[in-house]
Amino acid sequence: MSRIEKILEAAINARKTARGQTRQAEGIPENIDGPKFQPAAVPLIDPGAVDKKIVSIREPNSLVAEQYRRLRARIKSASGDPVKSILVTSSVMGEGKTVTAVNLAVTIANEIDNTVLLVDTDLRNPMVHNYLGINPQFGLSDYLKGDVNLPDVLIKTGIGQLVVLPAGNIPENPSELLSSQKMKALASELKNRYDDRFIIYDSSPLLVTADSIPLARHMDGVLFVVKASANLQKSSGRAIALLKGCRVLGAVFNNVPEHLAEQAYPYPYGNSYGYGKKDGSGGSDRQGRQGAEK
């Protein structure tokens, strides 16, 4: 090797070292380098193994699936800054947040122009993988602990342009992991890397854990899932108060009694939505016959 070649090689190595130190100081994960994240080489999702409540896959031509397309349109046309990263949450368990997050992610991913990353951040009681009929060995928690690299836990589903980042093994310190600098850097990198990507986060219920609150502050918007019940006003009010300072896009009104759902859809695909007020907050979407799930 000539002297000039040695000098060039030394300069390149020095530049790489300096860049790595800068990224480490900023909390940006090392394995995010490269032009694209490459999902792990794992089997694609079998639509037949997907839970029946994921109607965007199992019954794409159904009335309920059409409402997710309406929800997609409302989100994409929301006033204010563009919405790319969305946290889906609820007051308590059993209101339908995970079903909503998965169906919304699939619906957006089926568009020609958009890719979607669905991230399960409910590290205490993850359910995204169950609804999609997969059994990943590792996921987000393992990445945040430094046990695996990010590309190794991304699952290419083969359903539209949908990639899934599962929750991973249940950790002892979920709140600390989700509020860490590494998680903050990951959320920022995922949102800013591609203009055509949507990131949907399924999070834990607001009144059950504190895990969702720090995440919500790094999102472009929060989608609030509400189960129709006698305690609707009390629990929802307490949960919404925790999102002060966050951009609440609106609410999905879930588990509406069937006789009311029929009134809500006087036309083939319904026209009684109140989602997305002019200022981008409040309102609701109704998923009539869909039962409330986590």
| Per-residue pLDDT in tens (0 to 9) along the chain, 294 residues | 556 555 556 655 655 554 454 344 444 455 554 445 556 555 578 989 999 999 999 999 999 899 999 999 999 888 888 899 999 999 998 889 999 999 999 999 999 888 999 999 999 999 999 999 999 999 999 999 999 999 999 999 999 899 999 999 999 999 999 999 999 999 999 988 888 899 999 999 999 998 999 899 899 999 999 887 656 667 888 888 898 889 999 888 877 666 555 544 433 333 333 333 333 434 444 444 444 455
Q: What's the pLDDT score for residue 81? A: 86
Residue 245: half-sphere exposure toward Cβ, Cα within 13 Å: 7
CA atoms within 13 A on the CB side of 265: 19
- 245 Cβ contact partners less than 8 Å away, ≥ 6 residues apart: 217
Please give the distance of CA 268 from its chain centroid, rounded to a whole number. Answer: 29
- Distance of alpha carbon 172 from alpha carbon 181, whole angstroms: 18
Question: What are 221's strand-pairing partners?
Answer: 86
pLDDT at 206: 93
The CATH H-level (homologous superfamily) assignment of domain 35-287 is P-loop containing nucleotide triphosphate hydrolases (3.40.50.300)
Token pair of 23, please?
A: 């990224």
pLDDT in tens, 210-254: 899 989 989 999 999 988 765 666 788 888 889 888 999 988 887
Question: Residue 12 corresponds to which tokens in the numbers above?
Answer: 């390149």
- Name all contacts of 136-140 with Cβ < 8 Å and 24+ positions apart: 136/42, 136/166, 136/168, 138/166, 138/168, 138/169, 139/165, 139/166, 139/167, 139/168, 139/169, 140/165, 140/166, 140/167, 140/168
Residue-level pLDDT at 289: 40
- Sign of the alpha-carbon dihedral angle for 195, 201, 206, 211: negative
pLDDT of residue 1: 57
